[in-house]
């Protein structure tokens, strides 16, 4: 039988900073924060209830609990304080950044999976939880309840006590209450004594799957007339798509591939219900040349659920198109397609560069947002990008946006112009961070089928 404390925060916003670094959110809330909240309630509201104190004595003798928290996003709220400039002039200055977390669900769970509360303590236990208003020193009003089961909902991260884990939580230990009394007797203030315990994130079997394949046909491009401006890339990819459709239409064997290439149902202009081919311009294709913002190659990326027969037929189509085309003109420049291998369909570092597993990803090409916020601000752009990522079931816990790239060699977002119809889309570079490694490729925003919003896993990010 399990004992579970459910901490429900109706606002879905958790305010609470790590006492060792006030700029970091104390997320996930460690067991010591829960124990601190219960101690405060016992001492303030139930000072004469011996059974309530016995509940805490019983709790400190148990192993630290399993912690289950919903997927979340992390923000920082600047705090300003008035500054007297002399006379009647008053200005403000930024005093601190208050970190807070927005949760996708309301409830945080702490579970002791092999613990049974003594029967004579249950009434005081429930009264103690009912009178607890906050989870530690936090601004988030909470409701505490207890159950005798531990059912993990979908969309939760679960942290288990593990001596080999790489995550450190502040926890409770058998002498917590005695040390607390000595702590306050010496006048050390609000921070209760704690010990550090190692936890590990429970890895789910159902990992996120990208809508695009980790295998891609990649070719190099060279141009004797110089590079094109970044804004022309999307038009160039669109011209290549039309050329592929023309080649497929000229051969009856390949006509069944036209919907996969165009993204439209046969004979209509209606978009397909599923995914279709993405033609992605690349700044780097694994050559000795470093990324410098110039176009160096193209990746032809099929949807991850493409059937084997269609994939094989598309490879033959692309091979024939490359052999027939070899060079093509775009605007006033002439481009040559260089085959990287004897078989051009072999991936040219696509899987190595863009499909690795990582917690931290940054844009190689900026994201074109489907909608532009009415008021342009960093917070509004980050919220809009989160909605774009949620369309593909991606929920990072931290999103950062900027007009400047986070990767060396990428191009400023303001140099890209992307239009959908007659409307120009707002473009931003981004860096996103997840709780656990995510397998690529990741492409987000509108225009992904022309190569916008391509993310690159950042090397060296702690796994």
239 within domain boundaries = yes
Most confident of 113-117, 163-167, 205-209, 324-328: 113-117
164-173: average pLDDT: 87
Same domain as 163, residue 55: yes
Whole-number Å distance between alpha carbons of 72 and 432 = 13
pLDDT over 80 (residue 228): no
Q: CA of 258: how far to CAs of 145, 268, 275, 307, 394, in Å?
A: 57, 12, 13, 15, 29
Indicate if 303 and 255 belong to the same structural domain.
yes
Please indicate, yes or no, whether residues 195 and 285 belong to a single structural domain of this protein: no
Residue ending a domain, among 201, 229, 257, is: 201
Q: What is the pLDDT of residue 14?
A: 86
Produce one character per residue of 393-411: b if its CB has 16 or more CB atoms within 10 Å, e if not: ebbbbbbbbbeebbbeebb
In a domain, 96, yes or no: no
Q: Is residue 219 domain-shared with residue 111, that is, in the same domain? A: no
User: What does the pLDDT average to over 20-36?
Assistant: 82
In a domain? residue 173: yes
Q: Which residues of 71-91 are buried (b: 16+ CB within 10 A; e: fewer)?
A: bbbbbeeeeeeeeeeeeeeee
**CA 40 to each of CA 100, 113, 135, 236: distance values in angstroms, whole numbers, following the listed order:** 22, 25, 10, 65
Q: Is the pLDDT of residue 343 over 50?
A: no
Claim to verify: residue 330 and residue 434 sit in the same structural domain: yes
**Number of domains the chain is built from:** 2
Average pLDDT over residues 302-327: 83
Model pLDDT for residues 392-428, shown as the tens digit of each residue: 888 888 899 998 989 887 888 888 887 776 778 888 9
Phi and psi at residue 299, to the nearest 5°: -115, 130
**What's the CATH code of the domain at 45?**
3.30.70
Task: Specify whether 191 is located in the same domain as 335.
Answer: no
**Which pLDDT does position 225 carry in this prediction?**
64
The Cα–Cα gap between 235 and 276 comes to: 18
The reply to whether 321 falls in a domain is yes
Compute the half-sphere exposure of residue 381: CA atoms within 13 Å on the CB side of its CA. Answer: 18
- Are 338 and 220 contained in the same domain? yes
Look at residue 432 and tell me whether its pLDDT is greater than 70.
yes
In the block, which residue shows the tokens 């059912």?
A: 151
Mean local confidence (pLDDT), 337-351: 51
Q: Is residue 462 part of a domain?
A: no
Q: How far apart are CA 199 and CA 163, in angstroms?
A: 7
Claim to verify: residue 171 and residue 132 sit in the same structural domain: yes
Same domain, 197 and 335: no
User: Which pTM does this prediction carry?
Assistant: 0.60
Pair 129, 30 in one domain: yes
Residue 49 CA, distance from chain mean position: 46
- Please compute the mean of the pLDDT values over residues 96-100 and round it to a whole number: 64
For residue 127, the model assigns a pLDDT of 93
pLDDT at 95: 44
Q: Is residue 76 part of a domain?
A: no
Stretch 342-354: mean pLDDT: 56
Rounded to an integer, the average pLDDT of 185-199 is 73
State yes or no: pLDDT of 346 exceeds 50: no
Q: Are 151 and 222 in the same domain?
A: no
Of 347 and 363, which is predicted with more confidence?
363
User: Do 181 and 263 reside in the same domain of the chain?
Assistant: no
Residue ranges of E strands in 133-210 = 143-147, 156-161, 167-171, 195-201
Residue-range definition of the domain harbouring residue 145: 3-71+101-201
Lowest mean pLDDT, pick from 61-65, 223-227, 242-246, 258-262: 223-227
Confidence of residue 144 (pLDDT cuts 50, 70, 90): very high
Of 167, 201, 235, which closes a domain? 201
């Amino acid at each position: 039988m399990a004992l579970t404390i459910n901490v429900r925060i109706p606002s879905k916003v958790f305010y609470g900073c790590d006492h060792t670094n006030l700029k970091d959110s104390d997320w996930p809330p460690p067991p010591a924060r829960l124990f601190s909240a219960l101690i405060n309630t016992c001492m303030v509201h139930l000072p004469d209830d011996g059974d309530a104190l016995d509940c805490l004595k019983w709790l400190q003798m148990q192993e630290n609990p399993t912690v289950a928290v919903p997927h979340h996003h992390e923000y920082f709220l600047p705090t300003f304080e008035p500054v007297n400039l002399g006379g009647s002039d008053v200005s403000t200055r930024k005093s601190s950044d208050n970190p807070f977390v927005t949760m996708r669900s309301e409830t945080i769970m702490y579970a002791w999976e092999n613990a049974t509360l003594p029967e004579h303590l249950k009434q005081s236990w429930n009264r103690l939880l009912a009178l607890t208003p906050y989870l530690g020193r936090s601004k988030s009003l909470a409701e505490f309840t207890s159950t005798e089961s531990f059912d993990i909902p979908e969309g939760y991260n679960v942290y288990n006590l593990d001596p080999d884990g790489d995550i450190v939580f502040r926890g409770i230990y058998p002498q917590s209450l005695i040390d607390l009394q000595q702590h306050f007797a010496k006048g050390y203030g609000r921070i209760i004594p704690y010990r550090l315990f190692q936890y590990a994130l429970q890895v789910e079997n159902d990992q996120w799957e990208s809508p695009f394949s980790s295998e891609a046909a990649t070719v190099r491009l060279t141009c004797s007339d110089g590079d094109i401006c970044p804004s022309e890339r999307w038009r160039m990819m669109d011209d290549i798509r039309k050329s592929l459709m023309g080649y497929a239409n000229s051969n009856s064997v390949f006509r069944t591939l036209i919907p996969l290439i165009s993204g439209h149902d046969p004979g209509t202009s209606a978009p397909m219900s599923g995914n279709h081919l993405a033609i992605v311009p690349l700044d780097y294709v694994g050559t000795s040349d470093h990324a410098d913002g110039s176009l160096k190659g193209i990746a032809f990326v099929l949807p991850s659920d493409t059937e084997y027969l269609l994939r094989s037929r598309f490879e033959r189509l692309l091979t024939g198109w490359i052999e027939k085309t070899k060079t093509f003109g775009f605007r006033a420049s002439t481009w040559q397609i260089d085959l990287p291998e004897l078989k051009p369909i072999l991936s040219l570092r696509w899987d190595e560069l863009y499909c690795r597993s990582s917690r931290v990803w940054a844009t190689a090409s900026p994201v074109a947002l489907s909608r532009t916020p009415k008021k342009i601000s960093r917070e509004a752009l980050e919220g809009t990008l989160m909605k774009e990522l949620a369309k593909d079931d991606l929920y990072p816990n931290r999103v950062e946006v900027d007009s400047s790239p986070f990767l060396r060699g990428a191009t400023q977002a303001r140099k890209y112009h992307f239009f959908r119809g007659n409307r120009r889309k707002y473009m931003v570079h981004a860096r996103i961070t997840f709780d656990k490694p995510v397998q690529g490729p990741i492409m987000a925003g509108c225009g992904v089928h022309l190569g916008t919003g391509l993310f690159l896993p950042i090397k060296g990010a702690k796994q």
